[in-house]
Amino acid sequence: MKLNYLMLDVFTRERLKGNQLAVVTKADGLLDGEMQAIAREFNLSETVFILKPNAERNTAAIRIFTPHTELPFAGHPTVGASVVLGLQNKVSAVRLEEKVGLITALFEKSDKRSGEARFALPRLPSRVAPLPDKLGMAQALGIEIEDIGCDMYQPGVYSAGVTFHLVPVRDAEVLRRVKANPAIWNKVFHHDHNSAYVFTLTPDEPDNDLAARMFGMDIGEDPGTGSAAAALIGLLSEHANLATGQADFVLRQGHEMGRPCRITIQLRKENDVLIHGGIGGHAVIVGEGVLDLGE
């Protein structure tokens, strides 16, 4: 069996930047275990498999795997798959069936190998639990306890389909110094995938409003995490200075790894209630090949 695949860099306009993604373009017929084994073979943060949709009016179904497990939703695979399908089908919108729900992504072509995709979250973020142990978090992140917190933001556990421990820190210098301490990590960040999304405001950086780093999910540090940015919308919404209206943010991630990502974030509230969250970014195809799985 031979399977075509594409390699993309996501949340970037530049090749060899952003977050890497493998896209298996015609994955119908693969068993769950085979998809997991292929994702382990690529050994990227995520691999996405494109399948025929269950409903004819939808563009495709996609399944998303880390090297260790399947995810119901992830941002950079959704952006990457949307760009691939938008380019292949020459359309301005794609409808994706994911485990978390149906996602409609708007697509804008940049050139024959790249484009931008933006989508509304199929599940709005919500607060899962408080995160009060600042001493533990400081020790797990290799920083000081007074470094925890930024402006009005305080730590909390949020999910928009995938759970993250959100940890605001004082400034970009503290963010740069974060170093995960595996000895106590899972004890401090004990929900679901043990993943922490550490972020800060960047008022001195003209190209973005926020900066973040993501650690955990058995992949170490991730250069660009759309599902974490989606969870962050929940925390941003709680403190957004508007009861009704829209707020837009640009977030950078991956700079400390040499894989800079640019993620756009959008939230909309009505009568002080979050009614819309959106994520977007660019992706560029950097390679293609064939998996030869034998007879």
Q: What are phi and psi of 236, to 5 degrees?
A: -60, -40
Q: Which amino acid is at 262?
A: R
Q: What separation, in Å, do the N-terminal and C-terminal C-alpha atoms of the chain show?
A: 6
CA–CA gap between residue 258 and residue 210 (Å, rounded): 17
Active site residues: 46
Are 153 and 235 in contact by the 8 Å Cβ rule? The answer is yes
- How many Å is the Cα radius of gyration of the chain? 19
Cβ-Cβ contacts under 8 Å for 253 (sequence gap 6 or more): 11, 211, 212, 213, 214, 222, 223, 224, 225, 229, 260, 261, 263
Q: What is the 3-state secondary structure (H, E, C) of 87-125?
A: HHHCCCEEEEEECCEEEEEEEEEEECCEEEEEEECCCCC
List, in sequence order, every residue forming a beta bridge with 6; answer none if it has no partner.
23, 288
Burial class (CB in 10 A: 0-12, 13-18, 19+), 6: buried
